[in-house]
Amino acid sequence: MKLQETKIIGAGPASVLCIVGTRPEAIKMAPVISAIAERPSLNAHVLMTGQHGEIASNALSSFDIDKINWLDLSDIGHHLADQAGELLKGISAYIAHHKPRYTLVHGDTTTGFIGALASFYSSVPVGHVEAGLRSGELHDPFPEEANRRLADQLCHRLFAPTEIARDNLLREGISHNKILTTGNTVVDAVRYLARKMKPTHKLDELKDVLGPQKQLVLVTTHRRENWGEPMRNICKAVKTIVHSHEDLQVILPVHPNPMVKDVIESELKNVERVHLVNPLSYEALIALQRDADLILTDSGGIQEEAPEFGTPLLILRQTTERPEAITSGLAKLVGTCEQTIIEEANRILGDQNTKPKCKNPFGDGLAAQRIADVVESHINSCN
C-alpha cells in the first residue's frame, strides 16, 4: 500500500486527519475540512481510501478542495473482512508517519469505523461526525448499523447531528460530556452549493436529457439490502408510475456496481421518459432535489438534503436512521413493495399543492464551525 506525496490544507502547525471513503462522506466532510483549514492553529490532511474513487474526489472539488492524499487499495477484494484489514493497515501506517493531533471520521462506512479503530490503536483522539444515528436493527442496514455503533464506542467526541441522535447515544450509556449536538454538516454543504446552482435544465449534464414535461421525479437506488428482487420491484414501480403520467419524466443516476446497474438497465433501459444517466456531480444532484416534484430513494444523504428544499420524499427502505425526515412530514418510509411505491407516488404527484416551507430538521448550516471549535479547543488545551 503506497502513500503519495503529502498534501496539506491550511497553514497552522497542528494536523487534523480527515478520513473520507465514499462520496456522501466527502460531501458531508467538505465543510468540516474547510472549517479546520481556516483555523490559524490547524491544518487538514484529507485521506481518501478510494471506496468511491473519482466521484468522491469530484465531490470535494465542488467545495474547492483538491489537495487529497490517497491510499492505494486497488488490490483489495470486495469482501468486508479483506477491506477492513487492508484499511486498518493503511490508515495506521499513515497515522504513524504523519502523527496527526486529531482524527475526524464520518458516518457509517467501513472507512469510518476502521479510521476510528486505527486512531484508537494509535492513541490519537478521534471525533465522529454524524454520530448516534440508529435504525434499531443491527443487520439493517448492513453493515452500516454495526459500523456506527462500533465507531461511537471508540471516539473522544461524538458530534450528533440531531437531538434524536444524541438521545440514542445517551441510552447506550455514553457520557453526555462526550456528545455535542451540532446539526448535520450536509446542511452546511447544501446551503453552500445552493448559492451558486443553476436551474436543472441549464446544467450541462442534464440540458440535453430533460424534456418539456411538467413533472420531474428523481430516483436513486443502490443499497446492498435492496439488491436483487427489491430493486427489481422498485424499477417495475417506476415503469408503472411514468406510464400513468403523460407529463412526467424520471431521472435515474445509475450506480456503476454491476449488482445495481444490471437490474436497472434490464428493467428500464428502453422505457420512454425514464432517463438512465451516469452518476451525476453533486451540484447536479442537489439541483435535481431542488427542482423535482418527487424523490424516490434508498439513500441516507438524500433523506437529509431534500428537506432543505421541501421536496416530497419516499424512502425505499424498511428502516431509517433518520426519523427526523419522517416526523417533519416531508418523507415517508415505503419499503420496496411495488404497489405501495406506486400508490404513494401517485398520491403525491396528483397533489397540486406547492412544496411546503418548513425548517430543515437536520440543522442550521453551522455544524462544521461547531466541530472545528471543539477540535481546536482540545488541541490547544493539550499544548
Q: Distance from first CA to last CA of the chain, Å, rounded?
A: 33
Is 364 marked active-site?
Answer: no
Indicate if 315 and 253 belong to the same structural domain. yes
Indicate if 117 and 79 belong to the same structural domain. yes
Reply yes or no on whether the pLDDT at 4 is more than 90. no
Asked if residue 9 lies in contact with residue 65, where contact means CB atoms within 8 angstroms, the answer is yes
Choosing from 23, 39, 86, 130, which is the catalytic residue?
130
Indicate if 58 and 155 belong to the same structural domain. yes
Reply yes or no on whether the pLDDT at 316 is more than 60. yes
Is 344 marked active-site?
Answer: no
Choosing from 149, 191, 224, 378, which is the catalytic residue?
224
Q: Order the strands of the 215-220 sheet from edge to edge.
A: 274-277, 248-253, 215-220, 294-297, 313-315, 331-333
Question: Residue 257 domain-assigned?
Answer: yes
Angle at 48 between CA 46 and CA 49, to 5 degrees: 150
pLDDT digits (tens, 9 = 90+) for 95-104: 999 999 999 9
Question: Residue 145 domain-assigned?
Answer: yes
**How many residues comprise the chain?**
383
What whole-number distance in Å separates Cα of residue 90 and Cα of residue 115? Answer: 10
Question: Residue 211 domain-assigned?
Answer: yes
| CATH number for the domain that contains residue 324 | 3.40.50.2000
What whole-number distance in Å separates Cα of residue 1 and Cα of residue 91? Answer: 10
Indicate if 339 and 293 belong to the same structural domain. yes
Cell numbers linked to 292: 423535482
Indicate if 377 and 292 belong to the same structural domain. no
CA-based R_g, the chain, Å = 20
What whole-number distance in Å separates Cα of residue 349 and Cα of residue 87? Answer: 45
Tell me the pTM: 0.83
Cell numbers linked to 151: 465507531
Question: In this predicted model, which residue has the larger pLDDT, 13 or 73?
Answer: 13
Indicate if 113 and 224 belong to the same structural domain. no
Indicate if 254 and 338 belong to the same structural domain. yes
Q: Order the strands of the 126-129 sheet from edge to edge.
A: 69-70, 42-48, 14-20, 102-106, 126-129, 157-160, 179-181
Choosing from 106, 222, 223, 370, which is the catalytic residue?
222
Neighbours of 241 (CB within 10 A): 23
**CB-side neighbour CA atoms (13 Å) of 357:** 0
Choosing from 86, 144, 321, 324, which is the catalytic residue?
144
Is 272 marked active-site?
Answer: no
Indicate if 175 and 289 belong to the same structural domain. no
Helices (H), the chain: 23-38, 53-61, 80-98, 110-121, 144-154, 163-171, 185-194, 229-244, 258-268, 282-291, 300-305, 323-327, 338-349, 367-382
Over range 217-245, report the average pLDDT: 96
Cell numbers linked to 114: 476502521
Structural domain of 26: 14-183+366-382
Choosing from 201, 255, 273, 378, which is the catalytic residue?
255
Instruction: Report the candidate in 233, 229, 227, 274 with the shortest Cα–Cα distance to residue 255.
Output: 227
Neighbours of 157 (CB within 10 A): 20
Neighbours of 289 (CB within 10 A): 23
pLDDT of the residue at 52: 59
Question: Residue 150 domain-assigned?
Answer: yes
Indicate if 129 and 271 belong to the same structural domain. no
> Reduced to 3 states, what is the DSSP secondary structure of residue 50?
coil
Is 97 marked active-site?
Answer: no
Indicate if 278 and 335 belong to the same structural domain. yes
Q: How confident is the model at residue 213 (pLDDT cuts 50, 70, 90)?
A: confident
pLDDT digits (tens, 9 = 90+) for 105-115: 999 999 999 99
Over range 320-325, report the average pLDDT: 90
Is 222 marked active-site?
Answer: yes
Question: Residue 358 domain-assigned?
Answer: no
Question: Residue 57 domain-assigned?
Answer: yes
SS3 track for 306-372: HHHCCCCEEECCCCCCCHHHHHCCCEEECCCCHHHHHHHHHHHHCCCCCCCCCCCCCCCCCHHHHHH
Asked if residue 223 lies in contact with residue 298, where contact means CB atoms within 8 angstroms, the answer is yes
Question: Greatest CA span in the chain, whole angstroms?
Answer: 66
Indicate if 207 and 132 belong to the same structural domain. no
pLDDT of the residue at 126: 98
Indicate if 57 and 141 belong to the same structural domain. yes
The share of the chain scoring above pLDDT 70, in percent, equals: 96
Question: Residue 167 domain-assigned?
Answer: yes
pLDDT of the residue at 68: 94
Number of structural domains found in the chain: 2
Reply yes or no on whether the pLDDT at 6 is more than 80. yes
What whole-number distance in Å separates Cα of residue 37 and Cα of residue 64? Answer: 12
Is 275 marked active-site?
Answer: no
pLDDT digits (tens, 9 = 90+) for 348-378: 998 866 676 678 899 999 999 999 999 999 9
Q: How confident is the model at residue 1 (pLDDT cuts 50, 70, 90)?
A: very low
Question: Residue 272 domain-assigned?
Answer: yes
Angle at 234 between CA 231 and CA 236, to 5 degrees: 110
Over range 268-296, report the average pLDDT: 93
Choosing from 108, 145, 188, 308, which is the catalytic residue?
108
